[in-house]
Amino acid sequence: MLALLLLGCRPVDSAGMQTPLTRAWLENLDLRALSVLGGAWGGRADLVMETAGGFQDTRVVGLRGGMAGLGVELIPWASGAGTLPFRLPDEETVGDDLLGHYSGNGAAAVVLAGAVTHHLHNEHDVRIDGVTVGTFVGFFVGAEWVTIDVADQSFDPGGTVGETTP
């Protein structure tokens, strides 16, 4: 169990994303969670970053984290209800500032289908405040943390990644 909880604490490699951003979000979320008072959650998503000129860059990212609190989550699949937006601080934020360790709290209310909320922030004051849709069963309130990193393109269990991201 401790190994699962620490998965969200490994160092993150820089993705070389140094262009200032105006907004960013996660889409095409594919998340899973397993928790009984504490546990792990994670998966994949597309990180979309937009610059002042309207240019968008998309990277496939991995999300690995844990949770500790009251309740049980057995969610074999969760998706974003549209997107999961990042709230960027007033100061200049670049793509690499979106990667790394986030911590905060979350809650879930799922019976067959339901909502899972996330309220997380990182050292650059980037925030994730949003809701994903979960399936199966989950009732949870507590702390959660996650590390967001550029995904390993060679691992594609669903067969959905058709190209590699430089």
Quick: pLDDT tens for 57-81: 999 999 999 999 999 888 887 776 5
Residue 134 belongs to domain spanning: 2-10+19-150
On whether residue 164 sits in a domain, the answer given is: no
pLDDT tens-digit map of 22-40: 999 999 988 888 989 899 9
Number of structural domains in the chain: 1
**160 domain-assigned:** no
- Does 155 map to a domain? no
Task: Let me know if residue 125 belongs to a domain.
Answer: yes
166, part of any domain = no
Type of residue found at 145: W
Spell out where 54-126 has E strands: 56-80, 83-87, 100-121
Task: Give CA–CA dist 57/97, Å, rounded.
Answer: 15
Give per-10-residue mean pLDDT for the chain (166 aa): 43 62 93 90 93 92 94 79 85 94 94 90 96 87 95 47 39
Measured CA to CA, the distance from residue 124 to residue 141 in angstroms comes to: 25
162 in any annotated domain: no
Closest C-alpha to 30, from 61, 2, 73, 69: 61
Per-state percent for the chain, helix, strand, coil, to nearest 5: 5, 65, 30
* CATH number of the domain where residue 28 is located: 2.40.128
* The total number of residues written for the chain in this structure: 166
Q: What is the pTM of this model?
A: 0.80
